[in-house]
Copies of this chain bind each other. A is one copy, B any other.
Amino acid sequence: MGIDPVYERLPPTIRGDNSSNELLSRVEAVERFCRGVLDAVAPHVPCVKIQSACFERYLWHGVELYHRLVQQARALDLIVIGDAKRGDVGFSSEHYAAGCLGDQTFGGFADLEGPDAITVNSYMGIDAIEPFISLASSQGKGLFVLVRTSNPGSDAVQSLKLDDGRNVCDAVAEMVSDTGGTPGLVGASGYSLLGAVVGATKREDIVRLRRIMPKQIFLVPGYGPQGANADDMRGCFNDDGAGAIISASRSVLYASEKTPGGWLKAVAQAAADLNQQIRSILV
């Protein structure tokens, strides 16, 4: 499930009173909320995707909180995906990989673990992603490359038709499949450490992209409120019933808006429901 906390939608009891330092009091409220959510959903979901933007919004205080939540989620045995969508070239990519994905080795921070995987952007090509792959490979981590995103406007770039009949996202998918299929990047499971983001709303593309990228784990945002239902998700999985992580955020995070009773109970129930919905398409 996605951890994308927006202060204005937190349960009123969590928001609390604003102290004189509005930013810090919001960070504290977001922390109370997220810590409760992680504990509540850990028994029901295998993996959380933490949206970096929601924390960077609170400057360095938010970034520190983000890292604290990564530690908590890992301690709860959740697989942690940092949804950072980073992308740069050369040594800047190395720096992003070290800061956003890596386990730290610096004295004073040697206990700080990075997430298990992060999302990265594809527009700059594979050499921009290579430093992330190097780090992921050496530390047993993974990546999800943006191939097809769930927002309507993405078509203007990702669905552009090439002169050989492919779409732009097909070409990006082939790039990810080729690089990700390199020996050493594919594990015993048959899946590559180089995965792909494929939006749940792009039904017409999912089956084709699955064919182009058989060894990629798909990270599939947009389930639920963004418009996709469980049946639409079938094409994201391989025939073995594996290969996709379906992510929902708001329908779980803010379940208490629609459900009477305590907010933590509502979140736990929504996570259990999400689990059931995804399982139902795998039988």
Query: Given the complex, which residues of B lie within 8 Å of A61, measured CB to CB?
Result: 60
Mark interface residues in A46-64 (1 if CB within 8 Å of B CB, else 0).
0000010110111111111
Contact A22-B99, Cβ < 8 Å, known A126-B153, A161-B163 = no
Q: Which of A6-41 contact B (CB under 8 A)?
A: 6, 18, 20-24, 26
Q: Which one of A86, A150, A152 has the greatest number of beta carbons of chain B within 10 Å?
A: A86
**Cβ-defined partner of A106 (8 Å) among B23, B54, B123, B124:** B23
Q: A162 — which chain B residues lie within 8 A by C-beta?
A: 160-163
B contact residues around A58 at 8 Å (CB): 99
Cβ-defined contact, A60 with B63, below 8 A: yes
Q: Is A157 interfacial (CB-CB < 8 Å)?
A: yes
**A90 in contact (CB, < 8 A):** yes
CB-CB nearest 3 A-B residue pairs: A127-B153, A125-B153, A21-B108
Given contacts A21-B108, A125-B153, A161-B162, 17 further A-B contacts (CB under 8 A): A22-B109, A23-B107, A51-B95, A53-B88, A59-B63, A59-B99, A59-B104, A60-B64, A85-B121, A122-B123, A122-B157, A123-B123, A124-B153, A127-B153, A128-B151, A162-B162, A163-B163
User: Which A residues form the contact surface with B (CB < 8 A)?
Assistant: 4, 6, 18, 20-24, 26, 51, 53-54, 56-64, 67, 83, 85-93, 95-96, 98-100, 104, 106-109, 112, 121-128, 146, 149-158, 160-163, 165, 168, 171-172, 175
